[in-house]
Amino acid sequence: MFQLTPTVRNLLIANVVFFLLDNLMPGGLGLLALYPVGSQFFQPWQFLTYMFMHGGIGHIFSNMFGLMVFGPLLEQRWGGQRFLTFWLICGLGSGMLYSGLRYYEMNKMRHDIEVFQQDPSDVHLMDFVQNNFKAYAEAYKPNISQLHETPNDQRLIQDILTDMGKAYEGSLNLPMVGASGALFGVLFAFAYLFPNTTLFIFPLPVPVKAKYLVPVYGLYELYSSVNQVPGDNVAHFAHVAGLLVGFVLVMFWERGRKQFY
């Protein structure tokens, strides 16, 4: 698996080059990250460029390690051009699906702010928190309690609206980076085409077949995207989206291959 094939090697080099440029150039390459649609920093090309950007050494290492482990066998089976096409389509599809979800979430957040602005009650503040920042509900409890006790405190209401605005702007201008969406598509393809390959995953003490590991990993990512914990800045839904795009593409290709033969 670690004998790098040409396309895997070129993808690895490209990602490392982008990572170095982003960290060594003054100002970095921030506009290559994928910003939410509606952000002042959003550009259409970011659907492609974001997958060559990474948030740190650990981030790029894990993605490139996965590419080196699972990519070569797929490239040997498909050829370099098809493997590159698969990688890019999974990354593009992941970014687009995630951006669609973010667009929905940002509209919902803006709506909740407008509802609170029209009727600044503790109930609407609680709705805002539950709908948008459920993982941080404990941090909002003092404001909710204070607003319940002093519902006409205009200074408190204005402070809450200011905090809501900052939270909205912060979310709107928070970009996504990384090749994880493309990698999760590769994970599905590997598990589908080489299901009985045994993998050693730290810290599990026993080998696990790919056909069992990948579905479990996908379910974990789905769970994590729905039940995000405080401090978790991983775009878990983007991982699930990449897995889904990989599933659709592999099913389409394999069906066409069987019909051809």
Q: What is the mean pLDDT of the chain?
A: 91
Q: Does the residue 130 lie in any domain?
A: yes
pLDDT tens by residue, 152-161? 999 999 999 9
- How far, in Å, CA of 46 to CA of 40, rounded? 13
Distances (CA, A) of 188 to 53, 100, 222: 22, 22, 14
Question: How many domains would you assign to the chain?
Answer: 1
- How far, in Å, CA of 116 to CA of 135, rounded? 20
Q: How confident is the model at residue 234 (pLDDT cuts 50, 70, 90)?
A: confident
Q: Does the residue 194 lie in any domain?
A: no
Q: How confident is the model at residue 261 (pLDDT cuts 50, 70, 90)?
A: very low
Lowest mean pLDDT among 117-126, 164-173, 221-230, 245-254: 221-230
Joined together, the tokens standing for residue 139 give 């941090």
119 or 136, greater pLDDT = 119
One-letter identity of residue 56: G
Q: Does the residue 228 lie in any domain?
A: no
Residue 248 has pLDDT above 90, yes or no: yes
Mean pLDDT of 97-115: 95
Residue 231 has pLDDT above 70, yes or no: no
**Domain extent for 147:** 117-173
pLDDT tens by residue, 15-65? 999 999 999 988 788 889 999 999 999 999 999 999 999 999 999 999 999
Q: Does the residue 34 lie in any domain?
A: no
pTM for the structure as a whole: 0.89
Residue 260 has pLDDT above 50, yes or no: no
Q: Does the residue 162 lie in any domain?
A: yes
Q: Does the residue 223 lie in any domain?
A: no
Q: What is the DSSP string of the chain?
A: --S--HHHHHHHHHHHHHHHHHHHSTTTTGGGSBPPTTSTT--TTHHHHGGG--SSHHHHHHHHHHHHHHHHHHHHHH-HHHHHHHHHHHHHHHHHHHHHHHHHHHHHHHHHHHHHHHS--HHHHHHHHHHH-GGGHHHHHHHHHHHHH-TT-HHHHHHHHHHHHHHHHHHHT--B--SHHHHHHHHHHHHHHSTT-EE--TT-SS-EEHHHHHHHHHHHHHHHHHSPPTT----HHHHHHHHHHHHHHHHHHHHHHHHH-
Strand partners, 71: none
Q: Does the residue 83 lie in any domain?
A: no
Q: Does the residue 187 lie in any domain?
A: no
8 Å CB contact between 75 and 69: no
Nearest alpha carbon to residue 70 among 253, 223, 201, 237: 201
8 Å CB contact between 65 and 199: no
Lowest mean pLDDT among 19-28, 55-64, 93-102, 224-233: 224-233
User: Is omega for the bond preceding 44 within 30 degrees of 0, making it cis?
Assistant: no
Share of the chain above pLDDT 90, in %: 75
